[in-house]
Amino acid sequence: MICEECNINEATVHMTKIVQGQKEVMHLCESCAMKNESLIFQNPFSIQNFLAGLMDMDSNFIKSPYGTGIECSQCGKSYNDFKKVGKLSCDKCYTTFKPQLKHIIRKIHGNSHHTGKIPKRLGKGIKLKRQINDLKIELQRAIEEEAFEKAAKLRDQIRDLESNMDKI
């Protein structure tokens, strides 16, 4: 798509503006977009700023018994340094700040562990195993909460899925 302003360069910026219910779409090249006063390019997106914003967003973040003065024993980086910069210094930082990182990762991804893609050929078996594992965890919680009717239903579901696993 060609830039609507200079009609020379390829349009890489696509802006949709709605003014008084009227939709206006503009397709501009980067240089014409920079000249356009209605577009602001002073602060490009930064993953560090994004992570720092996420950490400051929640006032009830993780309350550590040590406060936020936790420091990595290997590199000496504090949790406050991580909050400011948005980067960890070494591999030990991941274990040192694990509770805080779990919270942040869960906010961003919706989960704190990676499940990955499943190959189509092997997908049914893997999906079934994951489903069984999830049900077993749920069963354990139901037993701890003494919700025995729910636990019995979960147990039956697990048995059904395990019998299906044998057929695959």
113-146 pLDDT tens trace: 666 776 777 667 778 888 899 999 999 999 999 9
> Domain end: 85, 109, 133, which one?
109
Q: How confident is the model at residue 53 (pLDDT cuts 50, 70, 90)?
A: low
89 and 52, same structural domain?
Answer: yes
C-alpha 144/C-alpha 165 separation (Å) is 27
| 116 domain-assigned | no
C-alpha 54/C-alpha 19 separation (Å) is 31
Tens of pLDDT along 62-85?
Answer: 444 444 578 889 999 888 888 788
51 and 28, same structural domain?
Answer: no
C-alpha 87/C-alpha 93 separation (Å) is 10
Count of domains in the chain? Answer: 3
What pLDDT sits at residue 59?
A: 44
Length of the chain: 168
pTM for the full model? 0.37
Q: Which long-range contacts (CB under 8 A, 24 or more apart) does 47-53 make?
A: 47/86, 48/85, 48/86, 48/87, 49/86, 50/86, 51/86, 51/104, 52/83, 52/84, 52/85, 52/86
Instruction: State the residue range of the domain holding 151.
Output: 123-167
Q: How confident is the model at residue 34 (pLDDT cuts 50, 70, 90)?
A: confident
C-alpha 45/C-alpha 38 separation (Å) is 18
C-alpha 62/C-alpha 112 separation (Å) is 15
| 146 domain-assigned | yes
| 14 domain-assigned | yes
52 and 6, same structural domain?
Answer: no
